[in-house]
């Protein structure tokens, strides 16, 4: 650089006794040349050692050096000129120099503050733009770059009390380990519990500081807390053998830890929100959204898939009996049991309520069915809640996705719809498990169409009643008729009550449908009475009706509207309906009995009634189910059951009705066993109210009469126990 400066000065041809202007320019050019050569040489050395080109940073460094050198040369010449003219000019020159230095110092402080703000802004921006999964790595890289450190470390306190230790070293990348609190260096613990920044060097005093440098094999370092008890950020080994960390570096690191703590907290919040959006809060399993995403990913592959949908049986009974808290505990236990059966690669989710879904890969149909069997075995193992042994089963639907043709047309929405259809088919048929077949979807579409048109069918009175007469075996008189509901759908034709009654219960329309049936039946009953046939009518009611506390008010309203005595209305309920919730149904039944309405237990013998409880119900009639009547004349077992039910009914003071009588031999057998009333095809097939009126008028030896008052049960009579 000196040779270059002399050469430039000589090129100007300046001499001490020559032109002053040429001398000044030559001096400035020589000084600038020397500074440029020195700065470019330094930049070249840095470029060679680091393997990076000089770039704009090197050129900016050279420009600054040239400018500073030129200014220094000007000041030097100013001093020389002042001394040559007069010593009295020297104070004035010193004042000018001092003012220039003060301005430079002030601008330097402003520039430093600006650079600090820019550094923090760039640091925050870098963390914001970073993928949350790489946030720790980005934080360490930024810290090492800004503090010109060879290594950076982050100690984070996790929710379980352990430490996550992440280290960034030059050339090795980021490594992370989990440590117990006992393995934490003593100085890290001190910084973690405080707010002070620690600058460490070879001359640092303090046993814990020297111990940390020794453990980390570091020359020096700077350590700052990320909030009390949250974490510690540190930079180790300042780049360059002669440089070390200063108090300025400590302040910068403390500022970085504040921004880092906010960035990590935001990342944890985003991670928690993402987790919560795809997972069930009760069981920790995937939810419907998370399961759908996994299914879509699986459909994009080529391996065979199977989707299972499980709906727990008897879960509602647990909720209603033990409360929702124990229902939640049951779901958590079920989730753990299912996880224990499944492979690590299988996907388990809780879709909501008591529905669980499973996604399995690389299994054929037989293997899937074996897995289903293991899942059912796990579910049926007894579980104790509040001292009660609980057993739950499940209805499981299965969809198999195999072959490129099916996969090319499959999507997550259609797969979930198909497995839902299969699950409901398994529940409806009591099969436990059903593999989806295309024919099932036709049935599902039919149910969907029926459910959609059910309300309009009620409003448009598409439903109608047929009646089957009931005859006394004692004198052959018609005692009443059972109303049988029918639906003639405008496009689907005749619809079975087994279909639309369940849909009405599920859709919340059973109250409207029951009101419609009662209104029509009582209207027809009034017509028969006006025609000289004042007999009773029997109407079936749903268990949902029995849970409505104002059912008796509805019945009273319709009896008054159609001017029919309450003694001519019999409401039929199944024993399973009565025993589903005996405490709630008992009050409704009492209200109906006080109204004067007769109550009949339908399908008696097929449920699980407690005879002692049944004795206290205000019923006046039991109906023997047709399954015991059909083979009565040929099956001794059915004969024994019918005889026992008849004796039980009479002991409790109840009238006994047998349905499903299809021949004379069965009717005679029932009469011999003491049955009171019969109905069935042998008497008459169901018919409209007009045809029933004509049929009654055409019977010369049959008279219509009012039902006798129900016989009162003997309060001292003991109930008969059936084996």
- 367-381 per-position pLDDT tens digit: 999 999 999 888 888
Asked whether the predicted pLDDT for residue 599 surpasses 60, the reply is yes
Would you say residue 10 has pLDDT above 60? Answer: yes
Least confident piece of the model among 247-256, 434-443, 465-474: 434-443
pLDDT at 610 over 60: no
pLDDT at 320 over 80: no
- Does the pLDDT at position 319 exceed 80? no
How far is Cα 391 from Cα 122, in angstroms, rounded to an integer?
Answer: 61
* Contact status, residue 707 vs residue 538, Cβ threshold 8 Å: no
H helix and E strand count, the chain = 26, 22
595, pLDDT greater than 80: yes
**Which residues are CB-contacts of 316 (< 8 A; sequence separation ≥ 6)?**
none
Q: Measure the CA angle with vertex 561, ends 555 and 566; round to 5°.
A: 45
* Percent with pLDDT over 70 in the chain: 72
pLDDT grade for 159, boundaries at 50, 70 and 90: confident
Per-residue model confidence (pLDDT) at position 156: 86
Neighbouring residues of 408: CB distance < 8 A, sequence distance ≥ 6: none
- Closest CA relative to residue 233, chosen from 157, 180, 159: 157
Q: Is the pLDDT of residue 357 over 80?
A: yes
Provide DSSP, 4-35.
Answer: HHHHHHHHTT--TTS-HHHHHHHHHHHHHHHH
CB 161 within 8 A of CB 167: no
Supply the pLDDT for residue 524: 95
> Residue 484, Cβ neighbours under 10 Å: how many?
17
Highest mean pLDDT among 250-264, 607-621, 649-663: 649-663
Cβ-proximal residues to 691 (8 Å cutoff; 6+ apart), any chain: none
pLDDT band, very low/low/confident/very high, at 143 (cuts 50, 70, 90): confident
Helix 288-299 / helix 412-429 crossing angle, nearest 10 deg:
110
Query: What pLDDT is stored for residue 688 in this prediction?
Result: 93
Of the ranges 202-206, 258-262, 624-628, which is most confident? 624-628
Alpha-carbon span 503 to 513, nearest angstrom: 11
Top pLDDT among 306 and 276 is at: 306
Q: Report the pLDDT value the prediction gives residue 705, as an integer from 0 to 100.
A: 36
In the structure, what pLDDT confidence band is assigned to residue 597 with cuts at 50, 70 and 90?
Answer: very high
Containing 678, the helix (H) or strand (E) segment is strand 677-679
Split at pLDDT 50, 70, 90, the class of 703 is very low
- What gap in Å lies between CA 535 and CA 477, rounded to an integer? 10
For the segment 108-129, the average pLDDT, to the nearest whole number, is 60
Instruction: Return the higher-pLDDT residue of 603 and 355.
Output: 355
Segment 55-102, tens digit of pLDDT: 666 666 667 666 666 677 666 666 666 666 666 666 766 776 777 777
- What's the whole-number mean pLDDT along residues 345-370? 91
Position 720 scores a pLDDT of 24
Burial 93-121 (b: 16+ CB within 10 A, else e): eeeeeeeeeeeeeeeeeeeeeeeeeeebe
More confident residue, 366 or 181: 366
Please report the pLDDT score of residue 544 as a whole number. Answer: 80
More confident site: 548 or 228: 548
The four Cα atoms 455, 458, 463, 467 give a dihedral, to 10 degrees, of: 120
pLDDT at residue 405, rounded to an integer: 44
- DSSP string covering 331-389, please? HHHHHHHHHHHS-TTSEEEEEETTEEEEEEES--HHHHHHHHHHHHHHHHS-EEETTEE
Ranked by mean pLDDT, which of 178-192, 416-430, 476-490 comes out on top? Answer: 476-490
> Does 609 score more than 60 pLDDT?
no
Residues 249-264 have a mean pLDDT of 79
Residue 409 has pLDDT above 70, yes or no: no
pLDDT for 88 = 65
Rounded to an integer, what distance in angstroms lies between the CA atom of residue 707 and that of residue 693? Answer: 18
In angstroms, rounded to a whole number, what is the distance separating the alpha carbons of residues 293 and 682?
A: 60
Kindly report the backbone phi and psi dihedral angles of residue 211, in degrees, each rounded to the nearest multiple of 5, phi listed first: -65, -40
Q: What share of the chain is helix, strand, coil (3-state, %, to 5)?
A: 55, 20, 25
Instruction: Looking at mean pLDDT, say which of 36-40, 480-484, 715-719 comes out highest.
Output: 480-484
Quick one: what percent of the chain has pLDDT higher than 90? 22
Of the listed ranges 138-142, 216-220, 711-715, the least confidently predicted one is: 711-715
Place 712 in a pLDDT band, splitting at 50, 70 and 90. Answer: very low
Residues 6+ apart with CB under 8 A from 493: none
Please answer whether residues 135 and 231 qualify as being in contact, where contact means their C-beta atoms are separated by less than 8 angstroms: no
Averaged pLDDT, 505-514 = 84
Q: How far is CA 691 from CA 467, 546, 658, 669, in A?
A: 9, 32, 23, 29
Chain-wide mean pLDDT for the chain?
79
């Amino acid at each position: 650089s000196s040779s270059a400066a002399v050469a430039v000065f000589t090129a100007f041809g300046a001499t001490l006794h020559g032109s002053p202007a040429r001398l000044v320019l030559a001096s400035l050019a020589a000084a600038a040349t020397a500074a440029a050569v020195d700065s470019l040489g330094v930049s070249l050395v840095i470029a060679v050692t680091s393997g990076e080109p000089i770039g704009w940073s090197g050129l900016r460094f050279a420009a600054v050096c040239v400018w500073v050198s030129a200014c220094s040369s000007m000041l030097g010449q100013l001093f020389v000129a002042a001394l040559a003219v007069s010593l009295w000019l020297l104070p004035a020159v010193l004042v000018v120099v001092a003012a220039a230095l003060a301005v430079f110092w002030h601008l330097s402080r402003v520039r430093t503050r600006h650079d600090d703000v820019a550094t923090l802004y760039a640091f925050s921006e870098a963390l914001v733009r970073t993928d949350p999964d790489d946030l720790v790595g980005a934080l360490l890289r930024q810290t090492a770059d800004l503090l010109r450190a060879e290594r950076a470390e982050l100690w984070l306190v996790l929710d379980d009390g352990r430490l996550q230790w992440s280290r960034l070293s030059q050339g090795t990348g980021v490594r992370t380990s989990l440590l117990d609190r006992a393995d934490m260096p003593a100085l890290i613990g001190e910084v973690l519990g405080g707010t002070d920044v620690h600058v460490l060097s070879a001359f640092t005093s303090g046993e814990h500081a020297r111990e940390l440098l020794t453990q980390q094999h570091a020359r020096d370092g700077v350590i700052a807390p990320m909030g009390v008890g949250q974490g510690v950020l540190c930079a180790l080994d300042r780049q360059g053998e002669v440089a070390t960390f200063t108090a300025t570096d400590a302040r910068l690191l403390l500022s970085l830890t504040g921004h880092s703590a906010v960035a990590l907290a935001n990342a944890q919040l985003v991670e928690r929100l993402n987790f919560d959006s795809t997972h069930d809060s009760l069981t920790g399993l995937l939810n419907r959204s998370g399961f759908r995403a996994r299914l879509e990913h699986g459909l994009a592959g080529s391996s065979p898939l199977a989707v299972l949908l499980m709906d727990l049986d008897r879960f509602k009974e647990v909720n209603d009996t033990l409360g929702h808290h124990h229902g939640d505990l049951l779901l958590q236990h079920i989730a753990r049991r299912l996880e224990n059966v499944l492979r690590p690669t299988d996907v388990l989710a809780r879709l909501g309520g008591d529905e669980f879904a499973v996604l399995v890969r690389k299994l054929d149909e037989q293997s899937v069915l074996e897995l289903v069997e293991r899942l059912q075995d796990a579910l049926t193992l007894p579980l104790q809640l509040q001292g009660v042994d609980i057993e739950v089963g499940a209805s499981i639907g299965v969809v198999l996705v195999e072959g490129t043709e099916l996969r090319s047309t499959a999507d997550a929405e259609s797969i979930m719809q198909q497995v839902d259809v299969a699950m409901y088919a398994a529940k409806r048929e009591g099969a436990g498990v059903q593999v989806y077949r295309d024919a099932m979807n036709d049935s599902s579409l039919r149910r969907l169409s029926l459910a959609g048109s059910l309300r309009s069918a009620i409003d448009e009175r598409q439903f109608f009643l047929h009646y089957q007469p009931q005859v006394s075996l004692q004198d052959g008189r018609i005692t009443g008729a059972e109303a049988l509901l029918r639906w003639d759908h405008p496009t689907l034709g005749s619809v079975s009550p087994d279909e639309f009654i369940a849909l009405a219960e599920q859709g919340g329309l059973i109250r409207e449908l029951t009101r419609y049936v009662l209104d029509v039946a009582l209207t027809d009953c009034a017509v028969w009475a006006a025609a000289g046939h004042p007999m009773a009518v029997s109407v079936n009611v749903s268990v949902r009706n029995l849970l409505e506390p104002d059912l008796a008010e509805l019945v009273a309203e319709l009896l008054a509207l159609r001017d029919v005595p309450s003694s001519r209305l019999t409401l039929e309920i199944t024993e399973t309906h009565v025993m589903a919730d005996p405490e709630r149904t008992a009050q409704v039944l009492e209200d109906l009995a006080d109204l004067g309405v007769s109550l009949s237990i339908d399908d008696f013998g097929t449920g699980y009634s407690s005879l002692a409880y049944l004795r206290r119900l205000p019923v006046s009639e039991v109906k023997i189910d047709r399954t015991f009547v059909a083979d009565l004349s040929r099956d001794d077992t059915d004969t024994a059951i019918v005889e026992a039910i008849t004796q039980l009914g009479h002991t409790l003071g109840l009238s006994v009705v047998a349905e499903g009588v299809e021949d004379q031999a069965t009717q005679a057998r029932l009469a011999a066993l003491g049955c009171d009333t019969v109905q069935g095809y042998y008497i008459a097939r169901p018919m409209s109210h007009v045809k029933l009126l004509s049929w009654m008028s055409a019977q010369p030896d049959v008279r219509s009469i009012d039902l006798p008052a129900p016989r009162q049960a003997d309060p001292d009579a003991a109930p008969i126990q059936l084996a």
